[in-house]
Amino acid sequence: MDRAVVIAELDLLTKLGPRLTGSPEHERLVDHVAGQFADLGVEVHEDVLGFTRWDLPTAPEDLRLTVAGRPVEISSAFPYSGTTGAAGVQGQLRRLRGPLPRWSSAREGIAVVEVRNRELSFGAVVGSWDPDNPWGRLANPLIPATLAGLGLKRARSAGVRGVVFAWRGISAANARGQYVPFTLPYLDMPAVFVAGDAADAVLAAADRGERAELVLNAAVTPNATMRTVWAAVEGTRRPEETVLVVTHSDGTNVAEENGHIGLVDLARDVVARPPERTVVFVLAAGHLRIPAVTSGHGQAMSRWLDDHPEWWAGGPGQRRAVAGLGVEHLGAVEYRDDPDTGAYGPTGNADPEVLYASTPELRMLVDLEWRGALPGPTRVSAPNPVIQFGEGQPLYLKRIPNIALVTAPQYLLSLEPGDYVDVDLLQRQVDSFRRLLRRIDTLPASSMGAIPAHTPARKIAAVGKILAGIVDPRGR
């Protein structure tokens, strides 16, 4: 893979900044990739999807928190939580405790709720094909933020005017700009996060019952649009069989999402070496606004699969997808909070690769062809009927065997710029996907393996394991 091309694409992402769903920056990236597809001589298809867009305030006066007349630093706004308008909301700070806050205690006030970014058993959520190399304990702000957000509808029903979530277990630098959570519907309850000294100050002020003003003047735009673009390269021997290569276009920084770099490079390779099977390249929109593109359990690719069964479902007059590749978060390096100093920054290592293979057969193929972050075999993760992170999940739910990279660094959803990508690692990962795609193109369909039916019993067992991992203090 051409290093100069990689650097140019990363520079473009840096210049664009966050590509939040449906934003002008997001549209420019989609146009850029569509142009790259067109330059390869393939037909570019486009799906225009409507939704209601919530825009993060950019002016300081539109995102602020004042407690007893003193300004308090906001780490981030809760995406799609709500809007206060320019006038903001005022009220007494009311501290609510416990995992199920009694929201009625903050009626006509501003609720203050602790959110702890504690380590959880990642192995309970993400399996490993190698029982001797399971995932251990990890902390990621997305998980506690999502769980905390589940209560905002009840807060609205209880007459709360606004919510301040106070981070614990995460530095102020790490918490700054975190665009979390991103999977919940519009909640009509303005909420923000504070961290570090600001969290200490807000919690203490709430204990004293001081008054506060919260301004989250987010613009809400009905009838906004986003675009999914995709292109297909026709197979020469088995065109009725397809391989889906997928990523998403909306993102927060240079790691989330840079998958288009791999997508276009693989498309360039396939055009130069015509495939036996038809290969479909999909740049899906809506990953950061999942409720706008699917009403069920899924990701942005769920919408494309629902809209285009002719490319994968295998019914009469339809092509059949034999496998897929999910290309996300390429070259991600590791950032951590230092437990001794509290400083947040790079560790000098690659972030542990979360690389899924949905069948034992594909796991063996990964062992043969993947060259990733570390020497030797890569830990290969196993999905379950409830959770497969990333855009490979919709393929798994449709029982399309897939291999998907979805490394999950702590800054993944941060709007703060950073040196998040190792170019050499990115190149090795894309080259690994290239080898995998070439092998998948020629192997018999039966050699991809089969995903078992997602029965209620399998889902219940998966949920039980996840819950046990959350409550087990040993994280086994």
pLDDT in tens, 399-417: 999 999 999 999 999 999 9
What are the start and end residues of each CATH 3.40.630.10 domain in the chain? Answer: 3-54+222-461
* pLDDT band at 373; cut points 50, 70, 90: confident
Mean pLDDT of the region 311-326: 98
Domain 3-54+222-461 class, CATH top level: alpha beta
Contact between 318 and 309 under an 8 Å Cβ cutoff? The reply is: yes
Higher pLDDT, 376 or 198: 198
Tell me the two tokens of residue 189.
């309850």
Per residue in 43-100, pLDDT tens?
999 999 999 999 999 999 999 999 999 999 999 999 999 999 999 999 999 999 998 9
CA distance 440 to 431: 14
Contact between 108 and 161 under an 8 Å Cβ cutoff? The reply is: yes
Residue 473, pLDDT score: 47
Higher pLDDT, 1 or 299: 299
Q: What DSSP character marks residue 439?
A: H
Residue 375, pLDDT score: 76
Residue 465, pLDDT score: 80
Cα three-residue angle 148-80-16, rounded to 5 degrees: 115
The candidate with the shortest Cα–Cα distance to 218, out of 166, 267, 179, is 179
Mean pLDDT of the region 196-203: 98
pLDDT of 320 over the 50 cut: yes
* pLDDT band at 462; cut points 50, 70, 90: confident
Residue 466, pLDDT score: 79
pLDDT over 70 percentage in the chain: 98
Per residue in 156-196, pLDDT tens?
999 999 999 999 999 999 999 999 999 999 999 999 999 99
Element (H, E) at 427: helix 423-442
* pLDDT band at 474; cut points 50, 70, 90: low
Per residue in 206-262, pLDDT tens?
999 999 999 999 999 999 999 999 999 999 999 999 999 999 999 999 999 999 999
* pLDDT band at 475; cut points 50, 70, 90: very low
Domain made up of 57-217: CATH architecture:
3-Layer(bba) Sandwich (3.50)
The candidate with the shortest Cα–Cα distance to 270, out of 235, 237, 239, is 235
pLDDT over 90 percentage in the chain: 88
Residue 301, pLDDT score: 98
What are the start and end residues of each CATH 3.50.30.30 domain in the chain? Answer: 57-217
Mean pLDDT of the region 339-366: 96
Higher pLDDT, 184 or 474: 184
Residue 476, pLDDT score: 44
